[in-house]
Structure 1
């Protein structure tokens, strides 16, 4: 078997976020326009492995994917392991800006999925001048509660297994089994209470329904792509968002809530035209 070494570089950075020292892990590949990718709730940056390995993208874009604090290889800040974690929109925006500043990125593109697809709306509202463009995957202004988050952090329930089960149900059956398995494995490895804490942002604090009118897409372009097989963010949810802020929506057939992870090769063909438009602009 021929040895294949991927071009991805992984490193740690000591970054201060809202006055607190963090040790963040990030991976990157390529050169050109900075493209910062935001993983989903309870998971980590491995979800973007296909982008980091795609020469068509990395020949034009410097792709950077960081693990949020408590996620993947990024530890909680010192002394907070036992803290009841709840992600807020303010904290989420702060960590994205802190990472971009630490990496000295000039007008980066930011792409996020699920909670990442929600936070790009907050970035567009609060700091449109900071970004070249924003891409929302499985992006909606809010989500209706569809399960009790208490089940995500109980001593009598295996948190990793239930997180993996939830992720599995959000993926399209047409997605390749190997990619679906890897996606749910990332969820099964999450720290205690992390997925539940991220859901606080997704279901409560990050609700943007009453703030969409304050987003000016003339200041920063927004692109929306949504998989058709998703009960967490349905195509109808993304369509309502697209209509409200006046942008186009690409509905991706035979993909679910984690398009870049569950069916990466099919997802890339929908992403290429978006990146081409951003680059040419």
Structure 2
């Protein structure tokens, strides 16, 4: 039998560097992480992926895209398949919103695979299920066009960010998303509740909250930080997509990663950590 299809993804960074997986938010693509790449790829082998129906990932990667069938666990399994494809027994992980939920699920259910965790404008529970099911039904019927008018106000703290090439590109991701995959991701959010399992997360964790985030307000970030043992909380003056403040987000990530005892497991921090000038290779999948 042929192997199941993989999420569309891109890998870049020193070939011998510790792996770092970056998860996007609902409605966006791996492009949401582009502002962080110049810094992160100096120290890590960075893998960015597109959610099902987003960017280059077809909805067909889902095991069952029928209404109500997709869970965050299914999405997490797709990410593990990527790590397995590259022979990564473990990896660092950072994710925005739904991308963060995937990472939290992995850290709670597969603690041996996640070396560190960064949850950005994310949550342990994204509210009642009914609004997510209603959004899924709307998108299955009318596509993502009805969401465009209100998304920029949720995603960005100021309207001018939506008018930048970066902002227009992300809104374009939403416009181009396949309704089947987008709606399935809404179903996953509807059924997601990791609150009882937060104490099971043992990986060093960073939680980033946005002052102006109306999709996952600061109480969501505080609940994550309070529930995950020894998690650090960093608050940024941003909307739901902290990538609109790339320097602030990069500072938070850099501090988090620098405070880890090692960048890899096992063994000490490798030589390239101090800037050895390693060349990059890229893999498109």
**If the length of structure 2 is used for normalisation, what is the TM-score?**
0.79
RMSD of aligned residue pairs (Cα, Å): 2.7
Equivalent of 2:198, from 191, 212, 223? 212
Deviation at 1:115, TM superposition (A): 0.9
Does the residue aligned with 2:7 lie in a helix, a strand or coil? Answer: strand
**Which moves more between the two structures, 36-45 or 79-88?**
79-88
Q: Does 1:186 align with 2:168?
A: no
The number of residues matched between the two structures is 253
How far apart in 2 are the matches of 1:272 and 1:256? Answer: 20
Q: Does 1:41 align with 2:36?
A: no
Question: What do residues 176-230 of structure 1 show as CA deviations (whole Å, max 9, x unaligned)?
Answer: 331332221211110023322212221x3211123334x142xx21111122111
Residues 47 and 79 of structure 1: CA distance in aligned 2, closer, same or farther (over 3 Å): closer
* Corresponding residue for residue 56 of structure 2: 73
Deviation at 1:234, TM superposition (A): 0.9
Does the residue aligned with 1:134 lie in a helix, a strand or coil? Answer: strand
Deviation at 1:46, TM superposition (A): 1.4
With a CA cutoff of 8 Å and minimum separation of 6, indicate the structure with the bigger relative contact order. Answer: 2
**Retained in 2: the 8 A contact 1:152–1:163?**
no
Does the residue aligned with 2:260 lie in a helix, a strand or coil? Answer: helix
How far apart in 2 are the matches of 1:76 and 1:62? Answer: 26
Provide structure 2 residue ranges, at least 5 long, that are not aligned to the other structure: 264-285
**Retained in 1: the 8 A contact 2:30–2:49?**
yes
How far apart in 2 are the matches of 1:33 and 1:222? Answer: 17
How far apart in 1 are the matches of 2:174 and 2:247? Answer: 21
Residues 279 and 103 of structure 1: CA distance in aligned 2, closer, same or farther (over 3 Å): farther
**Retained in 2: the 8 A contact 1:85–1:193?**
no
Provide structure 1 residue ranges, at least 5 long, that are not aligned to the other structure: 1-14
How far apart in 1 are the matches of 2:61 and 2:33? Answer: 27
Does the residue aligned with 2:259 lie in a helix, a strand or coil? Answer: helix
1:1-281 → structure 2 map (5 Å cutoff): 16=3, 21-31=4-14, 32-52=17-37, 54=38, 56-77=39-60, 83-84=66-67, 86-145=69-128, 148-150=134-136, 152-153=138-139, 155=141, 157=142, 159-170=143-154, 171-173=156-158, 176=161, 177-178=163-164, 179-202=166-189, 204-213=190-199, 215-217=200-202, 220-246=203-229, 247-253=231-237, 255-260=238-243, 262-278=244-260, 280=262
